[in-house]
Structure 1
C-alpha cells in the first residue's frame, strides 16, 4: 500500500479512504486487495498516475475501493444494481484542477449542465455562492445541495466575464447507460 487518501475524479466522483498500491498491475479492475491476515480490504477500481501521497513524487499505481465503504450497500448493489440511498445530484460535467482553478473540460451532451449552457473551457468559481477550489470541494457542495432534481447555481468565468448559470440536477442513472445484468 502506497497511500490511503481521498480521491476525486474528473467525472463527478469522490471517495474517502481510497487505497493506492504500486507498482501498477495491468489487470486490477475487480481484483481483491488482501491484507497480511488474509482479509479482503479493497476492490480494484482504477489505474492512476499518482499512487503516492501528495508530498511524494508521482508514481503510477492502482486505486482500490475500501470494502468497508461497500459493506453497508452490498446487498442492494447485488439485488438492484444500485444503492437504496436517494440519488445524488449530477450535472454532467468533466472538470480538472489546473493552476489553482477548476476547469470544465467537457460537458455530457445529454446532461443538465449542457442544457443550462455550461461549456467546455468555463472556469468554475463557486457553487450556490460558495467558492470551490478543488474537485472535492465541488462535489461536496453539489451533493450537499440535496437529492437529484435540486437546482445548483454555478458561478463561471467565460471569456474573462463572470456568468451565473442555474443547473437542474438529475439522477445520473437516468441518463448514463447501465449494465444489462441488473
Structure 2
C-alpha cells in the first residue's frame, strides 16, 4: 500500500564490500545510507555507490524490522540501484514521480530514514553534473541547506511522489563569487520507464557506454587524470595519473562533460578511444580499448548470517 506518511517507506541500508574490491579504496568497505520502497513487493531504489560490489546488504524498516537484501540492478548511467529483500519488512511505498514541474526556487520535501517527517528544503538549481568517475547527468537537482545522511534520501515532488534520490554533499555556486553547501539528487525518472527491464535483466537492454577506468578532474581549465583503476583500459593503454587530456579522436575537449560526450559518441563498450594527452610538456597519443563498466563491478552476493 502507498505510505500513510512518506517516511514510512524509507529503509536504512548497510553494505559490506570486499577489501580487494575496486571501489573499496575510494568508498570504503562498510557503507551506510538509505533507500525508499517504490512498490508494494518491497522493491527499493537507492544511490548505486552504497551497494556497488557489495557482497552483503542489510536493510532496516522505519519500525526496526531488518532483513538481508540483494542487488537486483545497477544502472551505471544514472547512478541508481534497485534492491530486493529476502523477507518482507513492510509494504508501504512511495510512488515514483517526475521532476519536470520543479524549478529553482521551489520548496521541496526530503525524506530520510529515522526521521518522523520530511524536512523542507529549497531547490536552488536544476543543472548538469559531471563526476570525475566518468559520470554525467544532463540535469541534476541541487538543494539547500545541506543535510547529513544524504545517501539514498528521497526528494518528493508536489504530489508527494519520490522523484529524486540523494547522491552527494557539495559546494554549489549561487553567484559568480559565492557558494553554499548543499546536496545533489539524481532524478528517478532516469530509470522509471525501465524498472521492469532492470528487474528482469539487472540492467537496461541497450548497448553499454564505453568505460576507460579513469578519474578525471577539471583543474585550472585542464582535464587532469587524477586516478586510474588497476587493470582497467586506461591502465592497460599506458595512461598515468598527472596526464592532461586535450583531445578525443583528434577533437579538442574543453570540459569534463565535453570529453565524456565525445567519448560516448564514438560507440558502445568495446570501441577504441583515441586520446591525445600532454605529459611533462610532451604531446602524446594513446588508444584506449574501452569495456563495459559492469564487467568490473558485478556484485558477488553472499548470505548474511
- Per the alignment, in what secondary structure is the counterpart of residue 25 of structure 1? coil
RMSD: 1.7
Question: Is 2:202 the counterpart of 1:89?
Answer: no
Cα distance in 2 for residues equivalent to 1:24 and 1:163: 42
Question: Is 2:26 the counterpart of 1:26?
Answer: no
Following TM superposition, by how much is the alpha carbon of 1:62 offset from its aligned partner in structure 2, in angstroms? 1.2
**Unpaired runs of at least 5, structure 2:** 1-122
1:37 maps to 159
Question: Is 2:283 the counterpart of 1:171?
Answer: no
Task: Write out per-residue CA displacement over residues 104-151 of structure 1, whole angstroms, 9 at most, x where no aligned residue.
Answer: 001111210010000000000000011111110111011111010000
**Where in structure 1 do 4 or more consecutive aligned residues deviate above 4 Å?**
none
Following TM superposition, by how much is the alpha carbon of 1:53 offset from its aligned partner in structure 2, in angstroms? 5.0
- Per the alignment, in what secondary structure is the counterpart of residue 179 of structure 2? coil
Cα separation, partners in 2 of 1:53 and 1:78, compared to 1, 3 Å: farther
Following TM superposition, by how much is the alpha carbon of 1:172 offset from its aligned partner in structure 2, in angstroms? 0.8
Larger radius of gyration: 2
Cα distance in 1 for residues equivalent to 2:151 and 2:197: 21
1:133 maps to 254
Equivalent pairs counted in the alignment come to 180
Q: Scaled by the length of structure 1, what TM-score is found?
A: 0.92
Following TM superposition, by how much is the alpha carbon of 1:10 offset from its aligned partner in structure 2, in angstroms? 0.3
Superposed, 1:145-164 pairs within 5 Å as 145-164=266-285
- Given the alignment, which residue of 186, 192, 212 partners 1:71? 192
Following TM superposition, by how much is the alpha carbon of 1:168 offset from its aligned partner in structure 2, in angstroms? 0.4
- Given the alignment, which residue of 62, 65, 75 partners 2:183? 62
**Unpaired runs of at least 5, structure 1:** none
Cα distance in 2 for residues equivalent to 1:81 and 1:165: 33
Superposed, 1:90-105 pairs within 5 Å as 90-105=211-226
Q: Scaled by the length of structure 2, what TM-score is found?
A: 0.56
Cα distance in 2 for residues equivalent to 1:92 and 1:35: 35
